[in-house]
Amino acid sequence: MLCYRCTRYYDEVAWEQELTTDERGVQSFITSQFDQPLQSIFSGNIIDLCPVGALTSRVWRFESRPWDMTHTETICSKCAVGCSVTQWQRRGQLVRVTSHENDDIDEGWICDRGRFDYTDVNDPSRLRTPSIRGARATWADAINAVAAGIKGKGARLGISLPQDITNEEAFLFRRLLDGPLKGAKVKMHGRTAIAAPDGETMRIKEIDDARVIVVVASDLENDVPIIDLRVKKAVGKRGAKLIVVYPDGVDFDRSPQTVHIRNAKGAAAAEVRKLASHELLQNPGGLVAILFGDGRGSENMNELATACGALAEKVGGKEMPLYRATNERGALAAGVAGWDKLERVEALFSWGPPPTAGVPASVKFIAAWDHLPRVGYETAVVLPAATFAERQGSYTNVEGVVQFLRPPIALKQPLMEGWQVLCELGTALGLPMDYSGIVPIQREMKLQTPDPSPEPTPVLVGPAHP
């Protein structure tokens, strides 16, 4: 079968050269360049593209028949883009993740992180029951132990938040930080140094109509992969011009039309201030899209944001700050996207995996809400967590759109969802938070809950219709 859909995808969409045709005539077959394994972060999309099923997922292959699974449309939790995905479960295990087309955001593409990074959901060593210093405990005892260890600590308490905290969890954390945990240091991991936007920002779909695209202080392929594909579409198929301000090489360099300005680290703002006089921006002929990141922490964001704003005003452009963390924009809106250093704290409450820099040596008490065992948990109070495939809630993506999660796997007892744990913890700390479900929380947050899915079109017609 030689339809060349996969090779065309690599050439035209991903701008990669990893697939080719070997041999000649009737002996021809699709293979990788020089028999090397595929390295592209977008390689998994060829599985969905293949019309005959010749390209399959090594992670999912032979695990189940499609008719033996149920599937649910939900949102990817791996970065700030918020791609629509379909998660497939069989007998309580997540066995497959595929794309689910949303033209406003992803156009049916997802990156390999979103497609293949899910096996921890089925890890046999998953935590299922609370524990105190390695010994099994009840939920009530464990939550009371957490409350006793973190109450009244003020600035001596550190709170570590993951990049995929939901809006509902962030809302409840804000209530705790305004009440019994006031003064605690908060660190959200995986976030950028970009501040919350003052108003609405550019939408992802508007990149399609841009005549000139300016990418500043961000490697889109790693930071926001599907926006990377949007930019390639605008340049390769719609004739947009591309200017990149970044110190290192990027995948956009594969196009000879890319204007790449290699600035010194920390000097992106100075280069942006010069761009107003660039020949491509003198008469752009339409929308100018300005996408800017934080240079992975190397840039002064006050200067860079000011420079990008001034450039947008001069050339009539629109800005899109490129947040990296899954729900960074939602956490910023809730006021919990902290940037505090956790050094010299005496108690640590880790909501999710431990801090990326490790547990500070000064910590004497550790409490964690996590789904996997980690080094150091034998002396901590550990609350078993729900995974991304079991959680209800919502994320706010990079463009400010609130999207709701629909978990494909039902949470098994005695596990509890994050919002339930925080409500119980609030009660133990003397701040009753009596919510009967997640919908009352969303109602108090003034979130517009999603409409129910439409009924499927009946398959049976005529006399066979019931």
Q: Do residues 238 and 208 lie in contact, with contact meaning Cβ atoms separated by under 8 Å?
A: yes
Longest CA–CA separation in the chain, Å: 76
340 Cβ partners below 8 Å, 6+ apart? Answer: 158, 185, 186, 187
CA gap 418, 413 in Å, rounded? 14
Q: What is the pLDDT of residue 11?
A: 92
In this predicted structure, the answer to whether residue 460 has a pLDDT above a threshold of 60 is: no
In this predicted structure, the answer to whether residue 464 has a pLDDT above a threshold of 60 is: no
Mean confidence (pLDDT) of the chain: 93
Q: What is the pLDDT of residue 452?
A: 60
More confident residue, 31 or 87: 87
C-alpha separations of 119 from 96, 116, 188, 372 in Å: 9, 8, 24, 12
pTM of the predicted protein model:
0.92
CA gap 204, 291 in Å, rounded? 10
Region 24-28: mean pLDDT is 85
C-alpha separations of 258 from 10, 246, 247, 271, 289 in Å: 18, 12, 14, 16, 15
Give 311's DSSP letter. Answer: H
Region 154-170: mean pLDDT is 97
Beta carbons within 10 angstroms of residue 48's beta carbon = 16
For the chain, the straight-line distance linking the first and the last C-alpha, in angstroms and rounded, comes to 41
Q: What is the pLDDT of residue 369?
A: 98
- Give the range among 31-45, 84-98, 193-207 with minimum mean pLDDT: 31-45
Q: Which residue has the tokens 């939790």?
A: 77
- Give the range among 356-365, 394-403, 454-463 with minimum mean pLDDT: 454-463
Positions of E strands within 104-263 = 131-132, 135-136, 157-161, 185-188, 210-216, 241-245, 259-261
CA gap 29, 12 in Å, rounded? 20
What tokens were used for 305?
Answer: 């944001």
- Give the range among 18-22, 77-81, 152-156, 236-240 with minimum mean pLDDT: 18-22
Region 405-429: mean pLDDT is 96
- Nearest C-alpha neighbor of 437 from the set 413, 419, 414, 421: 419
* pLDDT digits 0-9 by tens, 125-149: 999 999 999 999 999 999 999 999 9
Where would I find the H helices in 37-166? 45-49, 112-116, 139-150
Region 434-441: mean pLDDT is 94
Domains belonging to the chain, first-starting first, are 1-56 (no CATH), 131-193+330-391+409-444 (3.40.50.740), 204-321 (3.40.228.10)
Q: Which residue has the tokens 């020949």?
A: 279
Q: What is the pLDDT of residue 34?
A: 82
Element at 235 (helix H, strand E): helix 225-236
